[in-house]
Chains A and B, each alone.
Chain A
Amino acid sequence: SQTIHQWPATLVQPVGSPLSLECTVEGTSNPNLYWYRQAAGRGLQLLFYSVGIGQISSEVPQNLSASRPQDRQFILSSKKLLLSDSGFYLCAWSVADWNTGELFFGEGSRLTVL
């Protein structure tokens, strides 16, 4: 069966510090991978998605970047965090075609920037 895992689950970082969130998927090949951010009272905001190794599409210009060094690994990074980067970050995967469109989410990472 397929599983998705992201870490860390919770982190508190000072403004200006770097960030690295990691996500791995097991049990499937060539998945589409996504990074979302969820702010309180707002819908999920798509930050990045990837259809293959080294292929990253950015949906929103921001302080963050993403990389996909391996087929089932997706990393969200920042060189210098801003207060506005605080939020709940979710990694997700889907099958390469959209027959069902179901997204499978990781456990989430709650980031607080102070």
Chain B
Amino acid sequence: GQNIDQPTEMTATEGAIVQINCTYQTSGFNGLFWYQQHAGEAPTFLSYNVLDGLEEKGRFSSFLSRSKGYSYLLLKELQMKDSASYLCAVLDSNYQLIWGAGTKLIIKP
């Protein structure tokens, strides 16, 4: 079966750095996505990785290792507004998105 694993919840301090990991086992791979979802709202796109390596976009970076089936989202200079759930999703060989359950990130002052 297809599986996406990410921690259920993480806590970090305002101004710090946090890394949210995602491991996947899917039938084929056509890219990995990270979405941010604030409570009660729709997910919004953060990043897309299809090749190995690090993609940096402002305070957020996303890393991919296809051989390890592994990705992480790195958030720097954390702000209170970063409190949200972060969803990892993989596009499989049939171009279907497989979603993880999400990691709830709690930011403390």
Contact = CB atoms under 8 A, between A and B. Distances in A.
Interface of A: 41-46, 90, 98, 100-108, 110
A43 B99 contact: yes
Interface stretch (B37-45, B63-71, B74-82): B37-45
Nearest to B43: A105
B4 interface: yes
Interface in B4-55: 4, 8, 30-31, 33, 35, 40-45, 48
Given A43-B98, A44-B99, A101-B91, 13 more contacts: A42-B101, A43-B4, A44-B87, A44-B97, A45-B99, A90-B42, A101-B31, A101-B95, A101-B97, A103-B43, A104-B45, A107-B42, A108-B42
A34 to B, nearest CB: 9
Interface of B: 4, 8, 30-31, 33, 35, 40-45, 48, 87, 89, 91, 95-102
A42 B98 CA distance: 12
Contacts of B87: 43-44
Per DSSP, chain A at the interface is: loop
A41 B44 contact: no
22 contacts: A43-B4, A43-B99, A43-B100, A44-B43, A44-B87, A44-B97, A45-B99, A46-B96, A90-B42, A90-B43, A98-B30, A98-B31, A101-B48, A101-B91, A101-B95, A102-B48, A103-B35, A103-B45, A105-B43, A107-B42, A108-B41, A110-B40
